[in-house]
Structure 1
Amino acid sequence: MIGRKVLTVAEIAGADREAIAAGTPGAVLMERAGAAVAEAIAERFSLRPVCVVCGPGNNGGDGYVVARLLAERGWPVEVRALAPPTTPDAQAAAAAWGGELAAFDAPLNARLYVDAMFGAGLARPLSGEAAAMANRLAAQPEAVVAVDVPSGLLGDTGAPVGPVVIAGLTVTFHAKKPAHVLQPGHELCGEVLVADIGLADTPSNLIENGPDVWLAHFPWPAVNTHKHARGRLVVVSGEAWNTGAARLSARAGLRMGAGLVTVLSPSEALPVNAAHLEAVMLKGFDTEAELEQAAADVDAAIIGPAAGITENTLVNVLALARTGAALIIDADAITVFRDDPEELFSVLDVDDVLTPHPGEFERLFPGVLKDAPERITAARKAAQRADAIVLLKGADTVIAAPDGRACVNTNGSPWLATAGSGDVLAGFIGSLIAQGMESFEAACAAAWIHAEAAELHGPGLISEDLPGLAPAVLRRLYEGRVG
């Protein structure tokens, strides 16, 4: 899990200070950082002219180390200094470089550029020559290697505060920062390499999503497993003319491994659902009491996909909450509580999952996303307020738990921007919870698998494709579960 941790700028700075206090000079840490960048360049690029652009702080100091080490390897290197170095370690690194400095605003004629102007701690917009350089480098990101973060990007939010460098490769140290995993920073950084510079392990409850986060807890069936032991999942259908979304969720749940999946359908919608279901079972209900009885013995229940923004949906959510099943509340079942979110929160617990997109999030948590510095803080606040897992959808989906844990999904796929993909995600989450996976880990796993499945298909994807793509992702995970 160490490689998946995401640390704030302050946490990284604290780790630096602890290392220095323990006897590792700052100059040694700078040398290690510069060496990591130089090594990454040598491994990924053929010998070519390099221009290293150095700022006045320690990020610039790292750049001077990169320049010296590449030159010692025989690379043609020029250095451009935005301003003279201002910290003792950067001054020492500049002196060790010892070479000439090219004019900062001279034409750019190199084939590779190292951006070491400003690191993740930048708190103000780039201006003057720095802004002009950022704009020049942004025009050729494939030729740019950023040190720590691209200059102009806020390390704790992933948001630029003005002109910003765009990099093809970013080398950071010890751990990723929010800027590396949140959009638009994730895209602006290009490939991100985390280099170990000898800092002590730093605790964190923020992680980047990936199989190593949850694969050890994935509910693979044993040789003697039977369908009744693989979880019972129900999905509540909408009215007769709005049934497809629930069937998408149900099919997704079945593909993700739930042993028994049932669509609970209003009686008038039974014929429509029956005409389209095969392995997914079907059961009718007409009242909230009948729904509560039908879901009395299930492990997880999904409600919201095309449920309708009606009083019936509201009372059906409350009925399901009385069963003790883990709830996955999506779409209309979120919006129906917009006038009284506390009514929903009062019946939730930490096993339940809310899956809002930003618009639905605003309806339940007015102003929280707008007022937060970034999506991680917003999702955490929402999870604490609701006392449930919150999965805030987006290109950088954030999953947060009431205890402060948060996970950012970085494999988001643009092909998921199609009607019904969220219904499939709800089915994946519900299935994993029904099979006994802890809700936070289930939401993380489902979000990652959902995006991987979309990438397998690519252009032309529609939501109906996603359940059928999941087995290829599951096979890959199954084969990699050991070791």
Structure 2
Amino acid sequence: MPAPSDQILTVAQMRAAEEGLIAAGSSVEALMDVAGRGAAEWVWRIAGRHKVTVLCGPGNNGGDGYVIAETLRERGGHVVVVAATEPKTAAAKNARALFKGEVHGPDIEIEGDVLVDCLFGSGLARPLSPEHYGLLNWLAVGHRHTIAIDLPSGVQSDSGMLLNEGLPDYDLTIALGAWKFAHFLMPAAPKMGALRLVGIGVAPVEGAARALPRPRIAAPGADAHKYRRGLLAVVGGRMPGAALLACAAAQGAGAGYVKLFADRPDAAPRDLVVETGPLSEVLTDDRNIAILVGPGLGRDAHARERLAIALADPVAAVVDADALVLLGPRQLAERAAPTIATPHEGELVALERAFDCDGGGSKPERALALARASGMVIVAKGPDTVIAAPDGRLACAPRASSWLSTAGTGDVLAGVIASRVATGVDAFAAAGEGVWLHGDAARLCPPAFSAGQLAEAIPAALAACL
């Protein structure tokens, strides 16, 4: 079960969690006060005594806005409220009554330094009205900085979809109580700027997804040797470069021994062991801990044969790239060891067809459905990477560098995940560690980096997790 600070809640889960707090003796007003004052701390760090406009809607998100405004006013901040409409809930009305500053209607002409969007929160399920949409965008243009409270108005919380086109971009989004899926999913996530979380005492929720935390990775023991640290077998194919990239990444991600099984040892670095010959003969080492198949494999009959032989090895497997297009239920029918698949969107669609998934719903829902149908841990990679396990565990990765959108970075990711599996880490945890290291390595690279540079940065990313 994820820690309260890591859990991602649906709208329904968040409502249930708040109801639990109220049943335990709190109140809507008390929770609103905690959330609003906590959010005001972050707003103050940006705004200080500069001009702040808080846009308040009719519901409890608007009520949070009145609390924020009053907290800033008490500190001596220059703050005014623009009420898009009068408050409708009892808690919002109470917060409005407690605010001792200026409240203006939606027709006011105002500019300032910081706009705080409290128009609508995570419960919004329909597009903003033309009046609200126009007001929000007009105010955003008139302020140098924009902050969203809980979620930007016009975003669907559970799916990350934009309910209106042309919504403003934000410098900061302050989540209240728990993370929401939209904080991590496309297309909403890039609009949110930096993310911060204000807790309100929500307890751990059974079955909640988690925001992927920085992993804690232990250094090898004093008595470690290369086999105890883990032997990873990488199955090469028609295009050797991809497998070599995966091997380079794997060597920097913790495995003690990385061995490439290839038809020929072309261009292999001196520190990489390459085995040639029939794959059925060389994949007999019972010291193998994990196997990676797919990068550069090809999609012909020869590739199909190598995939079948690789998956016959009774160890944990990572399946990537070409192997995902060739994979189906038949190849997994006899496997008892964990299998991790790392599809991008096109490969995800192919796997959904192969395993008879309808492909409907949000990305987390799709990944979880495929994990349950296939028995694999699914790393649905992309600008909003989601990790799902057959037992229902679900994680969303933080936003990573958009410079990852270059050829070969998926091979690096596969190598890092496979390396973590080879160290003996649980498949779901290894997938999470690999995704984190991959994203952090990208942060350490210069702009417009290559996949080779990304692989070279993996050890530095690993060092930050020790």
Fold shared by both chains (TM-score > 0.5): yes
1:261 corresponds to: 258
**Aligned partner letter, 1:121:** G
Distance 1:309 1:181, change over 3 A: same
Aligned length: 462
For residues 105 and 275 of structure 2, what CA distance do their matches in structure 1 show?
76
Structure 1 residue matching 2:5: 3-state secondary structure: helix
The superposition leaves residues 231-288 of structure 1 with CA deviations (integer Å, 9 ceiling, x where unpaired) of: 111111113xx2111111112211222222111112xx34x2xx433111111123x5
For residues 27 and 228 of structure 1, what CA distance do their matches in structure 2 show?
59
Identity among equivalent pairs (%): 34
2:155 corresponds to: 153
The superposition leaves residues 170-197 of structure 1 with CA deviations (integer Å, 9 ceiling, x where unpaired) of: 2222211111121232222222221122
- Pair 1:419 & 2:407 matched: yes
Alignment RMSD: 2.1
For residues 372 and 193 of structure 2, what CA distance do their matches in structure 1 show?
33
Give the deviation of 1:369 after TM superposition: 8.8
**Aligned partner letter, 2:269:** L
For residues 255 and 200 of structure 1, what CA distance do their matches in structure 2 show?
38
Distance 1:454 1:102, change over 3 A: same
Structure 1 residue matching 2:262: 3-state secondary structure: strand
**Aligned partner letter, 1:301:** I
Q: Out of 243, 249, 252, which is 2:249 matched to?
A: 252
TM-score with structure 2 setting the length? 0.94
2:224 corresponds to: 225
For residues 142 and 380 of structure 2, what CA distance do their matches in structure 1 show?
33
1:379 corresponds to: 367
For residues 167 and 369 of structure 1, what CA distance do their matches in structure 2 show?
36
2:235 corresponds to: 236
* Counterpart mapping for 1:206-355 below 5 A: 206-211=209-214, 214-215=215-216, 218-239=217-238, 242-266=239-263, 269-270=264-265, 272=266, 275-286=267-278, 289-290=280-281, 292-293=283-284, 296-337=286-327, 341-349=328-336, 351-355=338-342
Alpha carbons 2:441, 2:458 under 8 Å: kept: yes
For residues 20 and 169 of structure 1, what CA distance do their matches in structure 2 show?
29
Give unpaired runs (5+ residues) of structure 1.
479-483
Alpha carbons 1:234, 1:250 under 8 Å: kept: no
The superposition leaves residues 336-355 of structure 1 with CA deviations (integer Å, 9 ceiling, x where unpaired) of: 23xxx222342445621101
**Aligned partner letter, 1:206:** A
Alpha carbons 1:26, 1:89 under 8 Å: kept: yes
**Aligned partner letter, 1:238:** G
Give the deviation of 1:101 after TM superposition: 2.8
Structure 2 residue matching 1:256: 3-state secondary structure: coil
Q: Out of 72, 79, 83, which is 1:70 matched to?
A: 72
For residues 129 and 358 of structure 2, what CA distance do their matches in structure 1 show?
27
1:121 corresponds to: 123
1:481 corresponds to: none
Distance 1:316 1:376, change over 3 A: same
Distance 1:162 1:349, change over 3 A: farther
Distance 1:219 1:325, change over 3 A: farther
- Pair 1:186 & 2:189 matched: yes
Give the deviation of 1:382 after TM superposition: 0.9
- Pair 1:451 & 2:450 matched: no
For residues 136 and 68 of structure 1, what CA distance do their matches in structure 2 show?
24
Give the deviation of 1:322 after TM superposition: 2.0
Structure 2 residue matching 1:394: 3-state secondary structure: coil
The superposition leaves residues 188-243 of structure 1 with CA deviations (integer Å, 9 ceiling, x where unpaired) of: 222222112233333344111122xx41xx3521112111211111111113xx21
**Aligned partner letter, 2:341:** L
2:347 corresponds to: 360
Give unpaired runs (5+ residues) of structure 2.
none
1:170 corresponds to: 173
**Aligned partner letter, 2:294:** G
